[in-house]
Chains A and B, each alone.
Chain A
Amino acid sequence: MKKPLILFFRATLLLFLLVSVCGAATTLYVTSENAELKSDSSSFSSTLTELRRGAELTLVAKDGRWYQVSTVTNDTGWIYRGKVSGEKPEIENTEDAGAGLGGLLGGLSDSDIKADAADSSRSIRGLSPEAKEYARSTGTPRQSQDALDSVISRTASDSDIVHFLKNGKIGEYAD
C-alpha cells in the first residue's frame, strides 16, 4: 500500500520539477562588443544580425560553448557563451562630456571631442594638448613623450581582433 503512494509522490515531484525548469525562461544579456547572432552553433555559419551590448535574449538551448537564443524581436540564432551573461551590463554613456579636464583645461583643449570621437581620432592626434602641456610644465623627457605617442597611435581594429582570434583558434573560433 505504501509503495505505490511513495511512487506517486516521487512522480508528482519529478513532474513539478520538469514543469518548473521548462517554464522558467532564462534571460541573458549581451555583455561584449561585436556580438553576432549566428545561424548555427559555429563561427563559420552566417551572421543573422549584430547584437548591441545590453540586448536582452532568451535562452532556448545549449550546444557546447554555444547558446541558442531568441531576441526580443523573435529572431532565433546562436551566440558564443562568452558574449552573454545573466546580469545586465552597465552601459557607459561615453557621449556625456561631463565637467572634466577637457573643459577645465579649456584654453588648452582644441575641441569638444566626444569620448567615442576622441577614440577614433586619437591615433591621428597623438598626445592630447593637456598631456603635452603637462609634459612641458614638468620637463618630461622627449623620449617619454615619443614613447607615449607611439603607444596611443597603435590601434587594433575589429577586423584585426577577429583575424587574431581566428588564427589562434580562440573562443568562438576554436575547433
Chain B
Amino acid sequence: MNHHNDNSKKNDNIINRRNFLKLAGPVALFLSCPAYAFDLFKVIDPEGKNSDIQKAKQALAGLTGIVQSAEKLDYQSEFTIGETLALEGFQRFGLPVKNDRLQTYVNTLGNAVAKNSPRPEISYYFVVIDTPIYNAFSCPGGIVFVSSALMKGMNNEADLACVLAHEVTHVAHKHALGSIRRAKFFESAAKIGTINMEGAEGKQFRDMVGNLQTVLFDKGLDKNKEYEADESGMDVAYRTGYDPNGLIRVLKMLQQKEATAASKGSWFSTHPPLASRLKKCYQWQQQYPDANQMATTQHRFLTYRNML
C-alpha cells in the first residue's frame, strides 16, 4: 500500500515537473511579450486538455485582462474596431448611396443570407457606397460595404447574395482580425486599464486600425482566406436558396472589366487573380447539381439596381 502511494507521489512529482517545464516558457515569454505567451500555450496544449496549463492561462489572463488574441476579442470590442474601420472606409471610398429603399433592400438581403452563415448570432449591417471602384469589403463585427459599381455590374439577386455571403464569411471567420493578430495594441492592452486616445495607447490603437486598413483596402487578405470565403459564400447563398453560380457570374463580369477598370483598392488588387478564383469555384460548383433550379430573382434586383 505504501509502495503504491510512493509510486503515486513519484508520478505526481514527474507530472508536476513536466507541467512546470511546460509553464516556464510561456511565463518567461509572458513577461516580455504577453500575446505570444498565449500562442505558446496553444502549441504546448493545443486541445486544452491539460488542466494545469488551462489554469495558468486563466490566471495570466485574469492578472492582466489581456485579450489573448485578436480573434478572441469580445463582440463589442470587435464591433468597435469595425466601426472605426468603417469610418475610414467612407473617407477612402465614398459615402452611402442616398436611397433609403435601395439600402434597406441590400441590408435585408444581406441579413437573410447571414442567418445561414457560420456566424448567424450577430447582426450585420450592409451599405452600398457611391464609388466607381469595383469593390466589396467587410469590417470586423459585421459592417459590410459593397460598391455601387460592383452592384451595377450584376444582373440578379443571386449574384449579389453570393458577394454578400462572401463578405459575411470573412466576418464569421474573423479573417481581418486574424491578419493583425501581432499588432502591438494587443500586447500593450495587457498593461493598461484604460486607453486614452490622446496617449501612447491611443496611438497603438490607431496604428492597429491603420494596419487593418492596409490589409482590407490595399494589400488584401491572405489568398487562402479569400478562397475560403468564396467556397463558404457559395454554400451560404445556396443554403439560403440562391443559385451559388452567382459568384462565378460576378467573377466573370469582373474579368471583362479588369482591363479598363481602376485597380487601386478594388477586388482586382485586394483579391487573388480572378482566373484562379474561377478555377476553384468551378470545382465547388460540382457540389450543387440542382443549382440552376435555385432562385436568381432578377426582376426584383433590377428594380433596385436601376435606382443607382
B178 within 8 A of A: no
B78 within 8 A of A: yes
Q: Do the beta carbons of B115 and A161 come within 8 Å of each other?
A: yes
A108 to B197, CA, bound (A): 10
Closest chain A residue, CB of each to CB of B66: A99
Neighbouring A residues of B241 by C-beta, 8 Å = 82, 165, 170-174
A154 within 8 A of B: yes
Contacts A83-B239, A107-B194, A150-B96 given; does A119 touch B108 at CB 8 Å: no
A17 to B112, CA, bound (A): 40
B263 within 8 A of A: no
Within 8 A of B (CB), among A137-175: 137-138, 140-141, 143-145, 147-148, 150-152, 154-156, 160-161, 164-165, 167-174
Neighbouring B residues of A16 by C-beta, 8 Å = none
A104 to B109, CA, bound (A): 35
Closest chain A residue, CB of each to CB of B82: A131
Q: Do the beta carbons of A151 and B143 come within 8 Å of each other?
A: yes
B76, B111, B295: the one contacting A171 at CB < 8 Å is B295
State the Cβ distance, B250 to closest chain A Cβ, in Å.
18
Within 8 A of A (CB), among B84-119: 84, 86-88, 90-91, 95-96, 103-104, 107-112, 115-116, 118-119
Closest chain B residue, CB of each to CB of A81: B239
Among listed A20-28, A69-77, A89-97, interface-contacting one? A89-97
Q: Do the beta carbons of A105 and B195 come within 8 Å of each other?
A: yes
A116 to B122, CA, bound (A): 7
State the Cβ distance, A53 to closest chain B Cβ, in Å.
7
A113 within 8 A of B: yes
A118 within 8 A of B: yes
Total interface residues in chain B, CB < 8 Å? 63
Closest chain B residue, CB of each to CB of A152: B125
Contacts A83-B116, A134-B205 given; does A33 touch B121 at CB 8 Å: yes
Total interface residues in chain A, CB < 8 Å? 67
Neighbouring B residues of A141 by C-beta, 8 Å = 91
A151 to B84, CA, bound (A): 13
Contacts A144-B91, A147-B96 given; does A134 touch B76 at CB 8 Å: no
Closest chain B residue, CB of each to CB of A103: B65
B74, B104, B110, B118: the one contacting A100 at CB < 8 Å is B74
Q: Do the beta carbons of B194 and A171 come within 8 Å of each other?
A: no
Q: Do the beta carbons of A99 and B87 come within 8 Å of each other?
A: no
A120 to B279, CA, bound (A): 41
Q: Do the beta carbons of B123 and A99 come within 8 Å of each other?
A: no
Contacts A148-B90, A151-B143 given; does A164 touch B109 at CB 8 Å: yes
B297 within 8 A of A: yes
A55 within 8 A of B: no
Closest chain A residue, CB of each to CB of B81: A101
Contacts A113-B76, A115-B76 given; does A147 touch B90 at CB 8 Å: yes
Neighbouring A residues of B120 by C-beta, 8 Å = 32-33, 53
A57 to B68, CA, bound (A): 35
Neighbouring B residues of A173 by C-beta, 8 Å = 241
B289 within 8 A of A: no
Contacts A32-B239, A138-B206 given; does A131 touch B74 at CB 8 Å: no
Chain B residues within 8 Å of A, Cβ to Cβ = 61, 65-68, 72-81, 83-84, 86-88, 90-91, 95-96, 103-104, 107-112, 115-116, 118-123, 125, 127, 143, 157, 189, 192-195, 197-198, 202, 205-206, 209, 238-242, 295, 297, 300
Other A-B contacts than A99-B189, A115-B76, A131-B87, 18 sampled, CB-CB below 8 A, are A31-B116, A32-B120, A53-B121, A83-B116, A90-B118, A92-B75, A92-B119, A92-B122, A99-B61, A99-B67, A128-B83, A140-B88, A154-B107, A161-B111, A161-B115, A170-B240, A170-B241, A170-B242
25 A–B contacts from the bound complex (CB under 8 Å): A32-B115, A33-B120, A98-B74, A99-B66, A100-B73, A101-B77, A101-B81, A102-B80, A108-B195, A118-B75, A127-B83, A131-B84, A138-B206, A140-B88, A140-B91, A150-B96, A151-B127, A156-B104, A161-B108, A161-B111, A161-B115, A165-B240, A165-B241, A170-B295, A171-B295
